[in-house]
Chains A and B, each alone.
Chain A
């Protein structure tokens, strides 16, 4: 029974998506949170509660590059000062190496601990194209499909726009970031953008569930379906399907160029936004800029079984590294989100 309720409480944060596994979307939008719990048991995925040995959690810590190491040291300092029962397992990832051993070690550590806090690992685009982005590898291997960023105007921070409260949910594993590129003819490069029904349904479901939990009224899907009819058309269709199962939440959609324009003129109109990977990147950075910059917003990447927390705009900050001038707010708020996750 304890395990059952623990699973239920965990399913509130890490919403496992089984519709794709069962291949039947009818089950997705007919369900409520309680039956989500039953479904979890049905598929046999017993998500264990976060491991607490001796009452202390172990969390993987990946310092990364640039300002990552110093910020994470500060996080450790603050945790020790506040007597937080969390131990950090530090895994270094060297972005200059071409082998993937480092990042594989990090991934194994996260699989073991279930939770991680990371700084951004630099991706030099002067290295060979076969060197994949380490951050991307981490996200796809652990299937951290939802990137959640909550942009709120903070009191005391002077910005041009006031009263912003936007939640951005961005698909984290497919879309333009599939790293599938090839040069069939010299001088012509093709880059594949993949959109799948399963992932789109999954992220839409996550978005609506989160909106419902947080008592949000509106979800806006951001797309470019007038140009990419099949790709973004599929994404939009999946969002609509899922929306029909949440009648208390209004759903609308907006083309990405209009969205960005509205964001810089009237950001107060947005509530929850859901979108594929690339638009998510740009829109989340625009929103972070609106509330005060990359130093203030924390981000979280949630998957089925794992969660990784970091700064929302994923900046390495190489030019300000080790100069004691970086803003620690984003990283500290991210560590608070991690503590919430660990209950």
Chain B
């Protein structure tokens, strides 16, 4: 952090950075980490089981504390238990919890509650064309950083006049500055050259205008990174032109799904939600996959790559690299592709092949 960029920060952000520098390392008791595991609905439980299987096979020093959240119950106890567990452990791996939109509107989305209570403000999704996966676009390598707590997802809606619903979209300076800072820091850390802000400020002048202004302010503190902006309707055109993209919540949802589609679908991309003190990992496109649950056809790649991100976060880099290598070598083998990639492989076959790949590349146990 240069002095110039520190000065350009608003007062609210300075304590954030001093916290970050002195954040305690993830707790390791007896050399083993404890991670909260929320199976969720649909394909979540089976994928979470595969993750546990693989971790046990590779002797990863991680214990999972499983917290089940029942999406059909209207009381918020379940999700509060899960949130408390995450506060305790600091890290979590989760499947998507279904939000049945036939339930009354007072029932808030559980995933959303989790993100806002833990203040997981940055959703990071790295979309890369994987070798061996045939897609229409090649060489896509986009990092999408999406504001995760405000914007259109504030769940503030009301019906003043019958038949007229108002839905509030909130944009705040503090959070916009925060996410922009996060984006530029991440870009710098990964050696990226360009950050593009996606907005619709020609229509939502105040809201997205504020977001854009905050991004520009932060950009001035990072002179080596090029900053530009693009209106959201222009974005879906050519994927190879993008490097890092930062945006508010709703555009982030749509754009991240478009990018996931471009690199091969929801089964391949992992996602991470970072907050100041907590991190939660899940599949990038947050699908419940109810129609393919328990059919042994779901693609485990996204969840397994998400668990690699988890291991990186816990600084177990050797294990992360080992598992990632195994996953990527399996994905490049076409005959093991699952249904979403156009093949006929089953989930268990894919996981078995990953285990074989891991076993063949080196010793099973690694010291951290």
Contact present for A264 and B206 (CB under 8 Å): no
Provide the residues of chain A in CB contact with B200, threshold 8 Å: 176, 278, 281
Shortest Cβ distance from residue A168 to the other chain B in the assembled complex, whole angstroms: 13
Of the residues A191, A233, A236, contact of B204 by C-beta under 8 Å? A191
Contact present for B152 and A258 (CB under 8 Å): no
If A230-B105, A282-B233, A282-B236 touch, does A125 touch B166 (CB 8 Å cutoff)? Answer: no
B91 interfacial contact with A, CB 8 Å? no
Of the residues A195, A261, A281, contact of B265 by C-beta under 8 Å? A261
B334 interfacial contact with A, CB 8 Å? no
A177 interfacial contact with B, CB 8 Å? yes
Chain B residues bordering chain A, tally (CB within 8 A): 59
Provide the residues of chain A in CB contact with B266, threshold 8 Å: 261
Provide the residues of chain A in CB contact with B235, threshold 8 Å: 285
Closest Cβ neighbor of B238 among chain A residues: A289
If A133-B203, A230-B159 touch, does A194 touch B166 (CB 8 Å cutoff)? Answer: yes
Closest Cβ neighbor of B288 among chain A residues: A226
Closest Cβ neighbor of A23 among chain B residues: B163
If A129-B206, A197-B164, A231-B165 touch, does A260 touch B258 (CB 8 Å cutoff)? Answer: yes
Question: A293 CA to B201 CA in the complex, in Å?
Answer: 22
Question: A325 CA to B126 CA in the complex, in Å?
Answer: 35
Contact present for A258 and B287 (CB under 8 Å): yes
Contact present for A234 and B165 (CB under 8 Å): yes
Contact present for A125 and B205 (CB under 8 Å): yes
Question: A196 CA to B162 CA in the complex, in Å?
Answer: 9
Contact present for A187 and B172 (CB under 8 Å): yes
If A129-B205, A176-B204, A189-B171 touch, does A289 touch B260 (CB 8 Å cutoff)? Answer: no
Contact present for B169 and A233 (CB under 8 Å): no
Contact present for A181 and B170 (CB under 8 Å): no
Of the residues A160, A256, A279, A289, contact of B237 by C-beta under 8 Å? A289
B153 interfacial contact with A, CB 8 Å? yes
Contact present for B166 and A193 (CB under 8 Å): yes
Question: A179 CA to B200 CA in the complex, in Å?
Answer: 12
B173, B233, B258, most chain A CB atoms within 10 A: B233
Provide the residues of chain A in CB contact with B256, threshold 8 Å: 257
B207 interfacial contact with A, CB 8 Å? yes
Provide the residues of chain A in CB contact with B165, threshold 8 Å: 194-196, 230-231, 234
Contact present for B152 and A264 (CB under 8 Å): no
If A176-B169, A197-B164, A285-B233 touch, does A191 touch B206 (CB 8 Å cutoff)? Answer: yes
A192, A225, A264, A315, most chain B CB atoms within 10 A: A264
Provide the residues of chain B in CB contact with A197, threshold 8 Å: 162-164
B293 interfacial contact with A, CB 8 Å? no
Of the residues B158, B170, B233, B251, contact of A313 by C-beta under 8 Å? B233
If A188-B170, A282-B232 touch, does A257 touch B202 (CB 8 Å cutoff)? Answer: no
Offer 24 A-B interface pairs, CB within 8 angstroms, sorted by A.
A124-B202, A125-B201, A125-B209, A129-B209, A133-B203, A176-B200, A176-B203, A179-B205, A188-B171, A192-B166, A192-B169, A194-B165, A194-B166, A226-B100, A226-B109, A257-B285, A260-B236, A261-B260, A261-B265, A264-B236, A264-B261, A265-B265, A278-B250, A281-B232
Using a CB–CB cutoff of 8 Å, the interface residues on chain B facing chain A are 99-101, 105, 109, 112, 136-137, 152-153, 155, 157-159, 162-174, 200-207, 209-210, 212, 232-237, 250-251, 253-254, 256-258, 260-262, 265-266, 285-287
**Other contacts beyond A230-B159, A260-B257, A315-B234: 6, CB < 8 A:** A183-B206, A187-B174, A229-B155, A229-B157, A231-B165, A263-B258
Which 7 pairs between the two chains have the least Cβ-Cβ distance?
A197-B163, A187-B173, A264-B261, A160-B136, A261-B261, A230-B157, A181-B206
